[in-house]
Amino acid sequence: MIGLISATAAGAAARDRLAAAWPGRTRVYEGPVGDAVRTAFAQCEQLVCFLATGAVVRLVAPLLSGKTEDPGVVCVDEGGRFAVSLLGGHAGGANELAREVGDLLGAEPVVTTATDAVDLAGLDTLGLPVEGDVAGVSRALLDGEAVALRAEVTWPLPPLPVAEEGTYTIRLTDRLVAAAEREAVLRPPTLVVGVGASKGAPVEEVLGLVEDALRGAGLSVASVAELATVDAKAEEAGIVEAARRLGVPLVTYSAKELAGVDVPNPSDAPLAAVGTPSVAEAAALVGGGELLVPKRKSAASPAMATCAVVRRPGRGRLAVVGLGPGARDLLTPRAKAELRRASVLVGLDQYVDQIRDLLRPGTRILESGLGAEEERARTAVEEAREGLAVALIGSGDAGVYAMASPALAEASDDIDVVGVPGVTAALAAGAILGAPLGHDHVSISLSDLHTPWEVIERRVRAASEADIVVTFYNPRSRGRDWQLPKALGILAEHRTPRTPVGVVRNASRPDESSRLTTLGALDPATVDMMTVVTVGNTATRDIAGRMVTPRGYRWQSAQEDSE
């Protein structure tokens, strides 16, 4: 919950805007400001105070407990110009909250946390338990000193400016090791613990068995991702409470699913009890991985619990990102977030140049020129298969004549794939022209490099006969100068010469140009590969210099009756 506190009418107005925008996420604290701050500090995970920073400092100073316990606090000034992350920038989420408040209120977020100020991923912001010399390693990263990454397990980390050797070290491990001098240890959630238990097994026996098994194998409890068991034990109190105390989810599977998992130590006892020859080992192995601790029983007599431990390394992550038509303000927030999250960026060199300034330090860039689409797709998938976080970029929407298709043709189910939509060239051009896509429409690429012309021509003819608005991508190049005239000729068989045609070049970019012409007047020689051509249907009209296709056909009938 986010507590909202204000002292003036202007502050209350801004406060109420946040409350209206985030229903269920915020709570307004009324009354004397000191009392409101103290109450909210005790009850909320975050606070937004529409007060001077000095006043908030004096009010919260006696309340501070520690960076991992204190809520995040953001201050907004009286004029609503700045949203200042005052306390709990990382642990309390105040840095991100300041950005969110700034976006909503039109205020500039003020973040002074050192790593955020230089756009480095803070070690305490990665979502992983971290211990050791976190401050020293972070300072070394900030100072540009050589920091080595020692990855003992696979995990898709965000970009970090690390080297092969260094005085300082970031160690990525699920092993039970103490951090060395000048070392920060990150604990990725790579361990799955399968558990089985007799009815009424006490939590102390289940939890003690799990902790002993991990300790005996030299594994850290901080790297446990989940407990897993058969669904018949989903409400077994000892297992449920063990998961709660470990702070991990309890995942259950049907007996049929577990019976299909090959295990080294099947048994007749669980088969008779719950319908599968293995619970602990099968539940741990059902998602794949390396069996580190085979089934073992608790030390009680009789033993009422079993467990097994599997290492399931992090899967590589491939984000296929659409950059939009080129304008920075048409690049979506989700696309920006994926660019900042990826440790490897793969893309066409000219597209990389568009967003290079958004990348975090340490991002490895793999760029290539025109005509290497399949190679880029293969490279991105291969990097993801190494367990890395990869972003593959394309213009417009990556799924429209761009990189999503070749990438997904290469990818299998051994990596996670995320699609990030972007504003397509057709949409950008349509917005410039007016509303040409107001009814059914189709996009057709006239490039026959990958598609035979016979197929393209058949599709153009079908769109022409169906009276569908058509947007042509890749309409004309130096080596392909006859396809556009041919396509326009096919459309002219079913549409009059007065049919509106919109021509947009470099939509949304600084050298953008557009014009509205007609099917009969369009000169194909004025079109190139940077142009999108949109041909209206029989209902499309030029209204006040704008290209408009009505949503229905009643208007078309009225227009025809008046002509």
Q: State which H helix or E strand residue 39 sits in.
A: helix 33-43
497: left (phi over 0), alpha (psi -120 to 50) or beta: alpha
Contacts of 36 (CB under 8 A, 6+ apart): 3, 5, 29, 30
Cα–Cα distance measured from residue 292 to residue 474, given in angstroms and rounded to the nearest whole number: 54
Is the Cα dihedral 338, 339, 340, 346 positive or negative?
A: positive
pLDDT: which is higher, 115 or 392? 392
Q: pLDDT tier at 117 (50, 70, 90 boundaries)?
A: low
Q: What is the mean pLDDT of the chain?
A: 91
Nearest to 409 by CA among 453, 380, 377, 387: 377
Residue-level pLDDT at 68? 78
Q: 94, 77, 93: which is closest to 85 by C-alpha?
A: 94
Nearest to residue 149, comparing CAs of 139, 160, 158? Answer: 160
DSSP letters, 439-461, are S-EEEEE---SSS-HHHHHHHHH
Asked whether residue 255 carries a pLDDT value surpassing 80, the answer given is yes
> Per mean pLDDT, which range of 85-94, 411-420, 472-481 is the poorest?
85-94
556 band by pLDDT with thresholds 50, 70 and 90: low
Q: How far apart are CA 497 and CA 518, in angstroms?
A: 6
**pLDDT of res. 354:** 92
pLDDT tier at 91 (50, 70, 90 boundaries)? Answer: confident
Token duo for residue 129: 């338990």
pLDDT of 537 above 70:
yes
Question: Which pLDDT band holds residue 116 (cuts at 50, 70, 90)?
Answer: low
**Residue 34 structure tokens:** 């000191």
User: Which DSSP string do the residues of 172-200 spell out, in sequence order?
Assistant: E--B-----TTEEEE----EEEEEEE-TT
Helix (H/G/I), strand (E/B), else coil: 401: coil
Instruction: Please choose, from the candidates 426, 441, 435, the residue with its C-alpha nearest in 3D space to the C-alpha of residue 545.
Output: 435
Which pLDDT belongs to residue 526?
Answer: 93
Where does residue 393 fall: left (phi above 0), alpha (psi -120 to 50 degrees), or beta otherwise?
beta
Task: Please state, as a whole number, how many other Cβ atoms lie within 10 Å of the Cβ of residue 179.
Answer: 16
Structure tokens at 256: 């049929």
Q: Do the Cβ atoms of 4 and 28 come closer than 8 Å?
A: yes
Q: Per-residue pLDDT for 270 more than 80?
A: no
In whole angstroms, what is the distance from residue 175 CA to residue 152 CA? 9
pLDDT at 248 over 70: yes
d(CA 132, CA 389): 25
**pLDDT for 521 beyond 80:** yes
Task: Give yes or no for a contact between 518 and 498, defined as CB atoms under 8 angstroms apart.
Answer: yes
Tell me which DSSP letter residue 360 carries.
Answer: P
Which phi and psi (to 5°) does residue 248 adopt?
A: -130, 160
Per-residue pLDDT band for 114 (boundaries 50, 70, 90) equals: low
**Inter-residue contact 424 to 536 (CB < 8 Å):** no
Query: Could you say which DSSP state residue 357 is in?
Result: G
Higher pLDDT, 563 or 6: 6
Q: What is the 3-state secondary structure (H, E, C) of 508-544?
A: CCCCCEEEEEECCCCCHHHCCCCEEEEECCCCCEEEC
Query: How many Cα atoms are found within 13 Å in the side-chain-facing hemisphere of 133?
Result: 16
Q: What is the pLDDT of residues 326-335, one digit of tens each?
A: 899 999 999 9
> In sequence order, what are the residues at sequence separation of 6 or more whose Cβ sits closer than 8 angstroms to the Cβ of residue 259?
275, 276, 277, 278, 282
31 torsion bin: left (phi>0), alpha (psi -120 to 50), beta (else): left
Q: Please, what is the end-to-end C-alpha distance for the chain in angstroms?
A: 62
With a cut of 80, say whether residue 553 has pLDDT above it. no
pLDDT of amino acid 557: 53
pLDDT at 420: 95
Contact 186, 138 (CB under 8 A): no
- The predicted-structure confidence for 3-56, as pLDDT tens digits, reads as follows 999 888 888 888 898 899 988 889 999 989 889 999 999 999 999 999 988 998
Q: What is the pLDDT of residue 367?
A: 93
**What is the structure's pLDDT at 378?**
95
Q: Pick 299 or 281 by higher pLDDT.
A: 281
Q: What is the pLDDT of residue 176?
A: 95
Asked if the model's pLDDT at residue 321 lies above 90, the reply is yes
Nearest to 445, CA basis, from 420, 478, 472, 470: 472
Percent share of the chain, pLDDT over 90: 69
Q: Is the pLDDT assigned to residue 485 strictly greater than 80?
A: yes
Question: How many whole angstroms separate alpha carbon 282 and alpha carbon 271?
Answer: 12
For the segment 155-168, what is each residue's pLDDT rounded down to a tens digit?
A: 999 998 888 888 99
Token pair 């005239």 is found at 485
